[in-house]
């Protein structure tokens, strides 16, 4: 694991942007997976104008790593969020965006492998140690892409809210992420300081699913100073850009 601690969220976003654009400039079809949420908002504000309508990025394929498809057959909230955060502003056509659904979740990893594998993935760290939709006490730690009923997640994690019309949650599992060529996690803000400390200092456990990512052979964690404020940096591997 490579740990990068940046002074601000802006600097954290710039570091992640450099990694993404570097991967995307390869002379081949590049496969990218991006997270939704609050942490990458500034990153996408920087990234959208950098890639919008640029011919060198015209063949980039984007793969969403989790989704909760709606019963009416439409895409779920992750698709909606990524359209709002990045895809619409970057003018990414729908045909270059791949999403997990009821029909393809069992073959999703194979589709990615046939496309050449994921070159880079950016993920966040959930407040309870989840990543993607791999949540505490319901994550099969040896799984590729899998599905789980939302109500089963709520039983294991009672603080999760109820929802209707989206009974299933599909996500790339821990073994799926181990195949990603460069896995990048971004973490920012004081509110994430405690959980980041727990994940980095705890043994691998499904109580904190993100602990398994420490096994990834090319894992870069980029945190701002607030998120890293509880870490003992002298005891952790680190590299500063």
Give me the active site residues, please: 66, 128, 130
- Give DSSP secondary structure letters for the chain: -EEEEESSHHHHHHHHHHHHHHHHTSSS--EEE---SSTTHHHHHHHHHHHTT-GGGTT-EEE-SEE---TTS---HHHHHHIIIIIHHHT--GGGEE---TTTTTTHHHHHHHTT--SEEEEE--TTS-BTTB-TTT--TT-SSEEEEHHHHHHHSTTSPP-SS--EEEE--HHHHHT-SSEEEEE-SGGGHHHHHHHHHSPSBTTBGGGGGGG-TTEEEEEETTTTTT--GGGS-----
């Amino acid at each position: 694991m490579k740990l990068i601690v940046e002074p601000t969220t802006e600097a954290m976003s710039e570091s992640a942007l450099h990694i993404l654009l570097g991967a995307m400039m390869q002379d081949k079809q590049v496969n990218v997976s991006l997270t939704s949420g609050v942490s990458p908002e500034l990153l996408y504000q920087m990234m959208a104008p950098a890639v919008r309508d640029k011919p060198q990025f015209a063949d980039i394929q984007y793969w969403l790593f989790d989704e909760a498809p709606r019963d009416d057959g439409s895409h779920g909230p992750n698709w909606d969020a990524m359209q709002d955060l990045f895809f619409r502003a970057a003018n990414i056509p729908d045909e270059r965006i791949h999403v997990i659904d009821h029909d393809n979740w069992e073959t999703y990893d194979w589709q990615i492998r046939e496309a050449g594998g994921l070159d880079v993935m950016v993920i966040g760290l959930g407040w309870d140690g989840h990543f993607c939709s791999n949540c505490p006490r319901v994550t099969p730690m040896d799984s590729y892409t899998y599905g789980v009923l939302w109500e089963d997640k709520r039983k294991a994690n009672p603080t999760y809210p109820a929802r209707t019309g989206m009974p299933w949650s599909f996500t790339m599992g821990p073994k799926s992420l181990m195949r990603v060529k460069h896995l990048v996690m971004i973490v920012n803000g004081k509110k994430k300081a405690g959980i980041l400390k727990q994940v980095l200092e705890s043994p691998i456990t499904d109580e904190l699913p993100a602990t398994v990512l420490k096994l990834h052979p090319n894992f870069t964690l980029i945190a701002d100073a607030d998120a890293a404020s509880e870490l003992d940096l002298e005891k952790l591997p680190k590299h500063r850009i």
